[in-house]
Amino acid sequence: MQTNPEALKKQVKQMIEFRNDYSEGAHESILQVLCDINRQQHRGYGEDTYCRQSEEILQKMCGQPQAKLHFIPGGTLANLTVIASILRPYQGVIAADTGHINAHETGAIEATGHKVLSLPNKSGKITASDIQMLSRQHWEDETHEHMVQPGMVYISNTTELGSIYSLDELKNISNVCRELQLPLFLDGARLGYALASRGCDLDLQDIAQYCDVFTMGMTKQGALFGEAVVILNPDLQTDFRYSIKQRGGMLAKGWLMGLQFEALMQDDLYFDLSKHAVSLAMQLREGLEKLGVSFFADSPSNQQFPILPNKVINKLRDSFGFQIIQKADENSSIIRFCTSWATREEDVRALLEAVARAIA
Amino acid sequence: MQTNPEALKKQVKQMIEFRNDYSEGAHESILQVLCDINRQQHRGYGEDTYCRQSEEILQKMCGQPQAKLHFIPGGTLANLTVIASILRPYQGVIAADTGHINAHETGAIEATGHKVLSLPNKSGKITASDIQMLSRQHWEDETHEHMVQPGMVYISNTTELGSIYSLDELKNISNVCRELQLPLFLDGARLGYALASRGCDLDLQDIAQYCDVFTMGMTKQGALFGEAVVILNPDLQTDFRYSIKQRGGMLAKGWLMGLQFEALMQDDLYFDLSKHAVSLAMQLREGLEKLGVSFFADSPSNQQFPILPNKVINKLRDSFGFQIIQKADENSSIIRFCTSWATREEDVRALLEAVARAIA
Amino acid sequence: MQTNPEALKKQVKQMIEFRNDYSEGAHESILQVLCDINRQQHRGYGEDTYCRQSEEILQKMCGQPQAKLHFIPGGTLANLTVIASILRPYQGVIAADTGHINAHETGAIEATGHKVLSLPNKSGKITASDIQMLSRQHWEDETHEHMVQPGMVYISNTTELGSIYSLDELKNISNVCRELQLPLFLDGARLGYALASRGCDLDLQDIAQYCDVFTMGMTKQGALFGEAVVILNPDLQTDFRYSIKQRGGMLAKGWLMGLQFEALMQDDLYFDLSKHAVSLAMQLREGLEKLGVSFFADSPSNQQFPILPNKVINKLRDSFGFQIIQKADENSSIIRFCTSWATREEDVRALLEAVARAIA
Amino acid sequence: MQTNPEALKKQVKQMIEFRNDYSEGAHESILQVLCDINRQQHRGYGEDTYCRQSEEILQKMCGQPQAKLHFIPGGTLANLTVIASILRPYQGVIAADTGHINAHETGAIEATGHKVLSLPNKSGKITASDIQMLSRQHWEDETHEHMVQPGMVYISNTTELGSIYSLDELKNISNVCRELQLPLFLDGARLGYALASRGCDLDLQDIAQYCDVFTMGMTKQGALFGEAVVILNPDLQTDFRYSIKQRGGMLAKGWLMGLQFEALMQDDLYFDLSKHAVSLAMQLREGLEKLGVSFFADSPSNQQFPILPNKVINKLRDSFGFQIIQKADENSSIIRFCTSWATREEDVRALLEAVARAIA
């Protein structure tokens, strides 16, 4: 097959993308190390040196020497693998109605046999007291054997609305979960952005202390791909590699993810990239506020949800990529702008100028 | 976190690996293009330019303009997604007892609700007449409603024993499948190596003509990761992206796989890399034969299954990586040597010399 | 083992049960025919004369000669078998949030891999326009491939709150479903009671005309056990017996259910028994209304949901069985009284007198 | 609907059925007690007096006061509910290739997500040493995480070929299972017939001592329907009622099964009925042997598998019902004759005479 050798490189850039935080490849230091070690030979399936070293790094970062680290290529696959490995068949997972597993994974959890027990979200979050009430209602119902038994709790940080959990909120949820014997799973597809958020008062060690399992997203935070799954609770560690293999997440070249994790953790690159994204998101937010724009959700992180007149939206669409979430009213809509580790300050400025022009 | 900046690069090489065909990274042309386009912005989830271009390239290569191309990060995930998307709940998939889905995927197919209807393999392969007989036995049994209904056929090429299907064998299977209305799925995790095998009398167009779905493995044939899933039969194309998402295989950065596919197909790189691996495997095979070594299976492809005395095996183990498949008798075992796109001729020579020394 | 031969008969009756509509055995005509044919020999698995005759009777009653009739021992098993046989893996079933499949089957539907897409109920019912809106929202969402695809609609008649669908409501739902190609499944665990309800303006032929599948409950309406599953839509009939067997519902002595169905349909016994139950429910309702009792739901059928002071409830509990549904406020609760084919008028009078005394 | 009131009773008897052991209704003492208590009112879902009393009776019979008893309407449903409640998602159940769960349940086990790990049967049975070997092969394989993990063992007694386990065989299997931490489940759909078999050297207490779970079939042994599920191992008792409900086996009128169980256990009726069936099977067997007929399997129980010339089979078919299992050779076939609790001695004599005539 003869294809045009230049075709792969030139793809004309038409848009500035704020559509999501996975529009670009990877931080250059990751590409560099991939090239450096390319012809080295590694054990397959995550049993290599990089994966082992990554686990040690992670254990130190978390202050949890018993923590186990696994890599799974994508977020939905990580979520379904973790959840299906924890629940008994008749149990369900408590989550916000806006939670990714409830709303945007095409029923991946149900496909493993489990109901998502949804709670009304509060800015994308759920509360300890709502978990407690759902559990109490279940066990106090005399027909509870006819209902799905709550079996674990899923939260995400940042949430789908860009909000973050405070240390108190996380502690309270964790306390309730431990009291009710419900393992707590934190989906950290955007964990770096959460930790870098304005007003965040918790750190990775808190996450590790209060959760039974959490993920650290790499795809959206500087790597080519991969989610790091951290299992703190020893009861949940048994045979997890069987689960990964069965669900299709055990990559032959698992070391690719171990290597990227190590590179991201080196010199706090993961955290610095996250700060960069959040800082630009705040710049964008403040710029929009100055233009009188209001917001659907009060997000301190890299996702911003302004409400814009449809006329403005239509003008922006030629030059900028973004997602339309839903109607706000007849004439305006909620949209989402994402910044990322790769966003350029000049592009934020260009966007703000374009919004200003469109509004004027 | 402060880690040793050199640690990522230096990992001392202790072994020459013939353990598998996914020990190294990717062909350098792939790394190059990844670096070249790294900061370009792309649509997520496989809706980008590279994925679209890949489909066009694939359609031309196959001579099937209706073919649809999807990318899934790993082989087990590709298999379970394809099979679960085709079968009705009470149907099973016919496969060789040695088939990857039957023996080495931790019950991934059963986890989607389906039985693998295994046939005794013939050098890793199944035959048209065995498929026909299994089907006939099912439908002639007066209690057939109490048995799993055959719903599709799975073959792999190369097989798990390194063997390949001839054009006649594939045609016969395809004819039987079409007569019985059983979609035919060919797992091509090592399809390049099959097409490059000594004695192979079929090409990609034949595969596309006689199968309903097939995969072209990329992970083992020059790419970092990814399997290309080709759906020929329009009835099986509907809503396949829902299935990919539900099973967790829809990578956010799907373009990474499109890009690698394009790069592999450029100037026939995919096929040239495969020829390289097979050529070295034949060199290895002939060298071993000269040393009087016999083989468990007659493989014309990149996997070779010599039977070696355990004493020889133990001597080799310090310097060479390989897999021990099973005991042959009390004193000898069947092992597997894999060559790949990345294998070096000098390493094959070193292995042959080491075997010669160990036998002597 | 020696047990007391009288122990089986004497169980002292302490309570008058209004707890549910399955407290007693079966109408005596059913017991009679069971005794009459007891030593006759039948084909197993529903392939007997009674099941065949039942299908013919059903076809005539429905005016749908293509209808297929199957028997499944219980309601949850019938629901999960029907739904899992219709949906593609990535599809979900639309239902009221109060629907039995959503609230009281321990996740039976999810255990087959499917999400229940719940709509807010209106007196236990859902509307054509809500179905339409849910579908439109799905298909208009640009990320719809990341969401569960609506694949069918489930309604129950009577609903879990005792309400019934009018002919217009059913027609509208049916029209929307056909337009959207969503098979419509009506759970008729209490279908007889629905058809006998005060104000019901539809009949069995309407049900058969507007639904793709429906069930006629037998357990709660005069038989020992069994649900009749009626499949109108020929596309949904294929291989349904495989599904029944796979899910565990194919009783060896299937003829027991065919025989009971025939006996129930003879001389309209099924409908007469239902009228009896509804008539007593109306008597109970009117009696309670005269006592100033208000109701949670306006039910024209055999389930009544009065709101009673907790003090009254506690007094009634010694002599009457009933279900406490939930708190109404601090001092009162919603309870459920069920009448059935077996309820005695004297027991309704006794209950009314007891409520009057307790209130006074 | 007006049907012929006599139609239900008269169904002309054309055949003498040896097709299976569920051709007739129930022992008359069961019908009697059903009629006696018909209008009594009971708690639903197995929480009634009869189910509670049954458990006490069972505990005494087994000598296991901690045993829990549940009822499920059919055998496939009982099997899938038990197995799915025990296994972790990546585990499979070891069974004979001829085992009911492997061969005749339309993939019911796989539909719950689990592979059946089949062992070659020996007269329908599996051995302790084969279980041990399968387990050892799994754990010694360096790629065992890529294979289904053995999670429990399923045996049936009598087996599908009518054979029975000796006390020694059962003890050995049990010892191996406990050593390997594999729960042992005995499917006793025909347990009564096993215990009544010629040469049986174990009793119910042995079964209870050596198994973790077993069933006592009622459908085939004198009741209308129902399987008693006995859980000995306390670890497997938790939340089992959730599993029953989720899989659809929690009958509203669960007391129907409790009542039948009690009636069957009264005065050892269950065991006497079984003896009757086996005694007639032995009479049939000896009669056939005298006629020179050989047998496919050496069955001491109520199922007999003679090999007869096809000409003979065709002559018998007009007057007798039986199942053709498979071809023996070009001119003869293996068939199955079942006796049951309801078989009449005169019918066995008639069958023997007919075979004699047909052979002559």
> What was the pLDDT predicted at D297?
87
Contact D147 B106 (CB under 8 A): yes
Q: Which of D180, A79, D147, A107 has its CA nearest to residue B110?
A: D147
Whether residue A4 is contained in a domain is answered as: no
> What was the pLDDT predicted at D2?
47
pLDDT-derived band at D9 (thresholds 50, 70, 90) equals low
Q: CA C11, CA D56: separation in Å to the nearest integer?
A: 16
Cβ-based burial of B14 (10 A; exposed 0-12, middle 13-18, buried ≥19) = exposed
Q: Which residues of D touch C36 (CB under 8 A)?
A: 8-9
Residue C190 and residue C108 share a domain: yes
Percentage of the residues of chain A whose pLDDT score is greater than 70: 96
Residue A235 and residue A348 share a domain: no
Q: Which residues of A touch C147 (CB under 8 A)?
A: 103-104, 106
Contact B13 A41 (CB under 8 A): yes
Contact A245 D90 (CB under 8 A): yes
Residue pair C194/C163 in contact by the 8 Å Cβ criterion: no
Q: What is the CATH number of the domain that holds B70?
A: 3.40.640.10
Beta strand pairing status for B332-338 and B303-304? antiparallel
User: Would you state the structure tokens that stand for residue C273, as one six-digit string?
Assistant: 């028994």
Residue pair A29/A237 in contact by the 8 Å Cβ criterion: no
In order of B165, B196, B280, C36, the CA distances from B200 in angstroms are 8, 7, 16, 71
Whether residue C5 is contained in a domain is answered as: no
Q: Which of A292, A276, A289 has its CA nearest to residue A347?
A: A276
Cβ partners under 8 Å of residue D10, min gap 6: none
Residue B143: asked if its preceding bond is cis (omega within 30°), the reply is no
Each residue's pLDDT tens digit, A242-254: 999 999 999 999 9
> What was the pLDDT predicted at B2?
47
Whether residue B145 is contained in a domain is answered as: yes
Residues spanned by the domain of D348: 270-359
User: HSE (CB half, 13 Å, CA atoms) of D220?
Assistant: 27
Residue pair D227/D219 in contact by the 8 Å Cβ criterion: yes
Residue D219 and residue D91 share a domain: yes
Residue A158: asked if its preceding bond is cis (omega within 30°), the reply is yes
Residue C117 and residue C165 share a domain: yes
Beta strand pairing status for C306-309 and D303-304? unpaired
Residue A292 and residue A181 share a domain: no
Q: What letter would DSSP give residue A157?
A: S
Q: CA B273, CA B266: separation in Å to the nearest integer?
A: 12
Task: Produce one character per residue of B92-120: b if its CB has 16 or more CB atoms within 10 Å, e if not.
Answer: bbbbbebbbbbbbbbbbbbbbbbbbbbbe
CA dihedral C112, C115, C116, C119 (to 10 degrees): -170
Residue C173 and residue C237 share a domain: yes
What mean pLDDT do residues A6-22 have? Answer: 74
Residue C306 and residue C226 share a domain: no
| B22, B104, B106, best to mutate vs chain D, most D CBs in 10 Å | B106
> What was the pLDDT predicted at A4?
55
Residue B248 and residue B166 share a domain: yes
The number of domains in chain B is 2
Q: What letter would DSSP give residue D237?
A: T
**Bridge partner list, D320:** D16
Whether residue D7 is contained in a domain is answered as: no
What mean pLDDT do residues B76-104 have? Answer: 98
Each residue's pLDDT tens digit, B174-213: 999 999 999 999 999 999 999 999 999 999 999 999 999 9
CA dihedral A203, A224, B26, B49 (to 10 degrees): 170
State which H helix or E strand residue C311 sits in.
helix C310-316
Distance from A247 to chain D by nearest Cα, in Å?
Answer: 9
Each residue's pLDDT tens digit, D22-76: 999 999 999 999 999 999 999 999 999 999 999 999 999 999 999 999 999 999 9
Straight-line distance from the first to the last Cα atom of chain B, in angstroms, rounded to the nearest whole number: 52
What mean pLDDT do residues B96-104 have? Answer: 97
User: Taking 60 as the threshold, does the pLDDT of residue D11 lie above it?
Assistant: no
Q: CA A74, CA B73: separation in Å to the nearest integer?
A: 9
User: Taking 60 as the threshold, does the pLDDT of residue A275 lie above it?
Assistant: yes
User: HSE (CB half, 13 Å, CA atoms) of A313?
Assistant: 20
Beta-carbon contacts below 8 Å between C and D:
235
> What was the pLDDT predicted at D7?
55
User: Taking 60 as the threshold, does the pLDDT of residue B8 lie above it?
Assistant: no
Distance from A19 to chain C by nearest Cα, in Å?
Answer: 12
Q: What is the CATH number of the domain that holds A291?
A: 3.90.1150.10
Q: Which residues of C touch D37 (CB under 8 A)?
A: 8-9, 11, 25
Contact B90 C145 (CB under 8 A): no
Phi and psi angles of residue C254, each rounded to the nearest 5 degrees, phi first? -55, -25
Q: Which of D89, D104, D147 sits opposite B104 (nearest CB)?
A: D147
State which H helix or E strand residue B92 sits in.
strand B91-96
Q: CA D11, CA C49: separation in Å to the nearest integer?
A: 8
Beta strand pairing status for B320-321 and B16-17? parallel
User: Would you state the structure tokens that stand for residue C254, as one six-digit string?
Assistant: 């299937």
Indicate the residue among C221, C248, C267 that finishes a domain: C267
> What was the pLDDT predicted at D1?
47
User: Taking 50 as the threshold, does the pLDDT of residue A1 lie above it?
Assistant: no
> What was the pLDDT predicted at C7?
55
Q: CA C313, CA C307: separation in Å to the nearest integer?
A: 10
What mean pLDDT do residues C50-67 have? Answer: 98
> What was the pLDDT predicted at D6?
60
Q: Which residues of B touch A25 (CB under 8 A)?
A: 34, 37-40, 253, 256
Neighbours of chain A (3+ CB pairs under 8 A): B, C, D
Each residue's pLDDT tens digit, D310-359: 999 999 999 999 999 999 999 999 999 999 999 999 999 999 999 999 99
Residue D240 and residue D292 share a domain: no
Each residue's pLDDT tens digit, A134-156: 999 999 999 999 999 999 999 99
Distance from C56 to chain D by nearest Cα, in Å?
Answer: 11
Residue B179 and residue B96 share a domain: yes
Residue C335 and residue C208 share a domain: no
Each residue's pLDDT tens digit, A205-239: 999 999 999 999 999 999 999 999 999 999 999 99
Cβ partners under 8 Å of residue A307, min gap 6: A293, A294, A295, A296, A328, A332, A333, A334, A335
Q: CA B1, CA A205: separation in Å to the nearest integer?
A: 13
How many C-beta atoms lie closer than 10 Å to residue B290's C-beta? 10
Helices (H) and strands (E) in chain B, counts: 15, 14
Each residue's pLDDT tens digit, A30-44: 999 999 999 999 999
Indicate the residue among A218, A234, A268 that finishes a domain: A268
Each residue's pLDDT tens digit, D139-151: 999 999 999 999 9
Whether residue D4 is contained in a domain is answered as: no
In order of A246, D110, D117, D118, D127, the CA distances from D97 in angstroms are 23, 15, 8, 5, 13
Beta-carbon contacts below 8 Å between A and C:
62
Distance from C256 to chain B by nearest Cα, in Å?
Answer: 20
> What was the pLDDT predicted at B27?
98
Region for D10 from its dihedrals, namely left if φ exceeds 0, alpha if ψ lies in -120 to 50, beta otherwise: alpha
Q: Which residues of A touch C94 (CB under 8 A)?
A: none
Q: Which residues of A touch B31 (CB under 8 A)?
A: 31, 34-35, 38
Whether residue B238 is contained in a domain is answered as: yes
Residue A154 and residue A56 share a domain: yes
Indicate the residue among B226, B249, B267 that finishes a domain: B267
Beta-carbon contacts below 8 Å between A and D:
41
What's the whole-number average pLDDT of chain B?
A: 95
Whether residue A3 is contained in a domain is answered as: no
Each residue's pLDDT tens digit, A68-93: 999 999 999 999 999 999 999 999 99
How many C-beta atoms lie closer than 10 Å to residue B272's C-beta? 15
Q: CA D38, CA C47: separation in Å to the nearest integer?
A: 28
Whether residue B309 is contained in a domain is answered as: yes
Map residue B181 onto helix, strand or coil: coil
Location of structure tokens 């310097």 = B319
User: Taking 50 as the threshold, does the pLDDT of residue C1 lie above it?
Assistant: no
> What was the pLDDT predicted at B1?
47
Each residue's pLDDT tens digit, A305-359: 999 999 999 999 999 999 999 999 999 999 999 999 999 999 999 999 999 999 9
User: Taking 50 as the threshold, does the pLDDT of residue C121 lie above it?
Assistant: yes
Contact A40 B57 (CB under 8 A): no
What's the whole-number average pLDDT of chain A?
A: 95
What's the whole-number average pLDDT of chain D?
A: 95
Q: What letter would DSSP give residue A141?
A: S
> What was the pLDDT predicted at A297?
87
User: Taking 80 as the threshold, does the pLDDT of residue C6 lie above it?
Assistant: no
Each residue's pLDDT tens digit, D200-254: 999 999 999 999 999 999 999 999 999 999 999 999 999 999 999 999 999 999 9
pLDDT-derived band at D10 (thresholds 50, 70, 90) equals low
Each residue's pLDDT tens digit, D241-296: 999 999 999 999 999 999 999 999 999 999 999 999 999 999 999 999 999 999 99
Complex ipTM value:
0.95
